Amino acid sequence: MKQQSPQTMAPDHPFLTVAIAMVVLLGLVLSATRPPGVFEDGAGTENTAERSEADEERLPATGEPDQLTVVSPDALPGIEETEIDHDGGADVTAAYPNIPNAAPLSDFLDRTLTAQVNAFEAANPGARSFVGEWGITAAAEGIVGVRTTTTETDSEETREGHSTHWYETGDGTVNGSSHLLAGQAELAELNDLVREAVADTGADPSALHPISALYDSVGFNPDGDLVVEFDSGQVAPTDVGRVHAVIDRDEAEALLSEFGLRVREAATTGTREFTVAEAPEADKDGSGAAAPGVLAPRDDSVDCADPDTKCVALTYDDGPGGRTPELLDALAEYDAHATFFVTGHPVMEHPWVVRRTYAEGHELANHTLSHPNLAEIGSGAARSDLETTQALVFRETGYTMDLMRPPYGSTNGQVAEITAELGLAQILWSVDTNDWRDRKANVVRKRALKGASEGAIILMHDIHDTTIDASIDIIRELDARGYTMVTVSQLLGTTVPGETYVDGVPEPPETEGSEESEENSEEGAVNDAG
């Protein structure tokens, strides 16, 4: 038999090389675990010869079973480290790797790390120090995996966090960890497996939701088992430390995307030397809305412009409150969505409720940090108040809010200017339940139902027991009356930052030039008859 050298096969038949390596590895495992005699059939000698040659070509990946694979940076010739520029209040030392011919990766890491530092400072008035370190978790098969570890210290405590990004050397795309999963359903399935796996570690299962902000450090150990890790304080009290789950290779396999399978291949391959041959042409950012776990506050299956769909927007301010989860349960029961204008201090108190709200398709919107009258405080104070809440929600969910509601509905030209700069549209309301003043569930219920009409924005506060009690009835009744309860962004469509909106009442139908659309729309005809 003429032995084909794996070396010459490698460029054209990577999977064959891998298959051979797998057989060899399996052989190693079997010869180590099976009783002697199994291989005493004459083929053993040939096996050994082939094994040693394949071993030379393919090194085993290295690392601990409960950690992501570790690749020595020495295996990437020319790799350098760059520190981010920072001139804020906290003491910041954060660096990322610069790999020759991988500029899009460096640019992405620079932007991401800078955004993390800024959000840390904005969200923590007591921010003291931020340290960002990095490691390589894969460098093979056209993939580079970079795992960053951040250590944040504020006046309260020190937290360690991780995130892992995956770079495609061929086209310059940087993907977040949730891209390893085939889709939202697979991420949700992984979330269920992880809930079981971390049950005994001190983690709170109710803190786990299938969103990319939680699943931002996912990779593989050297055996190809899927490793998921969470930041300290993210799903368990901070003193529990790093919470992680290892999902068996076979169990995880069906959940992976094509890209995830390629990453697994790369992360289970040892690296002797890895170079990126050529820089890609364009800078691409893989973190698009299509990534599993990145949720939009709009549901494509609902069209409020459809005359048969009666949309109404329930909005809740000043929360989250202790009973907000009950409200979320009620909304889920009727497949209804709402908008939560959250305030910074309650967000700090109930971060897991904020995460759940996002994970269940509701809209999060900014209602300031400390509920000031924005029109009466200086523009610097108003801006930083809004920015802090923006950062708090971003850190919890990865979501950048694009709506805000000024406390007391108080706004002016200066507030318009600031919200325009921050990318926030101002949302007022068309129905005021005055639920903060009249703490009677029956009164709140009546006002909300009386005011409800197509396009209405109804104002309530989820920090009052009476409002929660009323809402459970309101949601059931609106559903019975044929309303579709939607987020404000769903109701209004695209909004303009800085502009003020009070409702989403549909524009009156055009009398001219609409013949064509009327002819083509059966629904329109039915509606006219009613």
Active site residues: 317, 461
Which parts of 180-219 interact with Zn ion (CB under 5 A)? none
Question: What's the min distance (Å) between Cβ of 501 and Zn ion?
Answer: 17
Contact window for Zn ion (CB under 5 A) among 2-10, 317-325, 356-364, 374-382: 317-325
Is there a contact between 487 and 300 (Cβ–Cβ < 8 Å)? Answer: no
Closest CA to 67 of 133, 164, 152: 164
Give the phi and the psi of residue 213 in degrees, each rounded to 5.
Answer: -65, -30
Cα–Cα distances (Å) from 62 to 66, 138, 168, 386, 441, in that order, read: 12, 10, 21, 46, 61
Question: What's the min distance (Å) between Cβ of 461 and Zn ion?
Answer: 7
Which of 145, 161, 319, 407 contacts Zn ion by CB under 5 A?
407
> Does residue 435 touch Zn ion according to CB under 5 A?
no
Cα–Cα distances (Å) from 328 to 133, 246, 302, 325, in that order, read: 38, 30, 20, 5
Which parts of 76-115 interact with Zn ion (CB under 5 A)? none
Contact window for Zn ion (CB under 5 A) among 73-81, 206-214, 281-289, 316-324: 316-324
> Does residue 317 touch Zn ion according to CB under 5 A?
yes
CA angle 106, 110, 112 (to 5 degrees): 115
Question: What's the min distance (Å) between Cβ of 426 and Zn ion?
Answer: 13
Looking at the Cβ atoms of 269 and 357, the one nearer to Zn ion is 357
Looking at the Cβ atoms of 332 and 348, the one nearer to Zn ion is 348
78 burial via Cβ count (<10 Å: 0-12, 13-18, 19+) = exposed
Closest CA to 164 of 109, 116, 218, 112: 218
> Does residue 318 touch Zn ion according to CB under 5 A?
yes
Looking at the Cβ atoms of 408 and 526, the one nearer to Zn ion is 408
Strands (E), 141-222: 143-153, 158-168, 173-176, 218-220
> Does residue 132 touch Zn ion according to CB under 5 A?
no
Contact window for Zn ion (CB under 5 A) among 122-130, 405-413, 467-475, 498-506: 405-413
Which parts of 275-304 interact with Zn ion (CB under 5 A)? none
> Which residue bears the tokens 């180590």?
32
Looking at the Cβ atoms of 104 and 344, the one nearer to Zn ion is 344
Q: Helix 351-359 crosses helix 324-333 at what angle (to 10 degrees)?
A: 10
Per-residue tokens: 109? 């890491």
Question: What's the min distance (Å) between Cβ of 369 and Zn ion?
Answer: 12
Q: How many CB atoms lie within 10 A of CB 288?
A: 12
Looking at the Cβ atoms of 168 and 318, the one nearer to Zn ion is 318
Contact window for Zn ion (CB under 5 A) among 110-118, 130-138, 225-233, 403-411: 403-411
Looking at the Cβ atoms of 346 and 504, the one nearer to Zn ion is 346
- Find out whether the peptide bond into 237 is cis, omega within 30 degrees of 0: no
Looking at the Cβ atoms of 154 and 317, the one nearer to Zn ion is 317
Q: How far apart are CA 406 and CA 318, in angstroms?
A: 11
Is there a contact between 145 and 263 (Cβ–Cβ < 8 Å)? Answer: yes
Output the residue with the shortest Cβ distance to Zn ion: 317
Q: How far apart are CA 90 and CA 179, in angstroms?
A: 32
Which residues are at the interface with Zn ion (CB under 5 A)?
317-318, 407
